[in-house]
Structures are given as C-alpha cells and as structure tokens.
Structure 1
C-alpha cells in the first residue's frame, strides 16, 4: 500500500510528464506553422533579399 508521500510524488511525476508532453506538442505545432510560413513566396523573396544585401550582391 502506498503512503501519502509516495502517492504525492507519483502524482507530481505524472504532472511533470504531462507538462513536458504538452510543451513538446506545442513546440511541434509552432515548428509546423513556421515551416508553412517560411515556405511562402513573399517570405522566400524577403529572406533572399536580406541575404543578398548582407553579402553585397543586392543593389
């Protein structure tokens, strides 16, 4: 039979794992959204322009 302290520690571990999983899921969702945004043509042109200007290739 588990004591109260053991049950609380086990509950704390479960809450910690759930928090970790939720954070990971949110990060994956954000990464997917970022990929969609970065693949858009206006963003590609903007990034290409910034890189060309930084390398002295732009007008």
Structure 2
C-alpha cells in the first residue's frame, strides 16, 4: 500500500495505525470499515475503525 496516497475522503489523526497516510491527517486506504463493540451504541466512543492495524 502506498502510504503517500492520501484518501481525502477519510480524515484520520491516528498516527499509530499502519494505514495512516504519511505527511497528513488522512487514511491511505481506499475504504474503511466502521463497527461497534457495544450492543446498543449511543456515543461516538462506542464506534471503532475496524480497519485499524497497529503500527
């Protein structure tokens, strides 16, 4: 994956993710998967980027 190819549709500030675009606050993936770890999510903190891969 080319990490210098910013996906300007996906903003991201998680620099510890290996999908984080180098040199900007964007994701280098063409798409991401968003999920939840809660049975009944009600807050933003209940959602997860399931495309996250630790660097």
**Same fold at TM > 0.5:** no
Question: Normalising to structure 1: TM-score of the pair?
Answer: 0.18
Question: Normalising to structure 2: TM-score of the pair?
Answer: 0.19
Structure with the larger helix share: 1
Q: Radius of gyration: which is bigger?
A: 1
Structure with the larger strand share: 2
Q: Which has the higher contact order (CA 8 A, sep 6+)?
A: 2
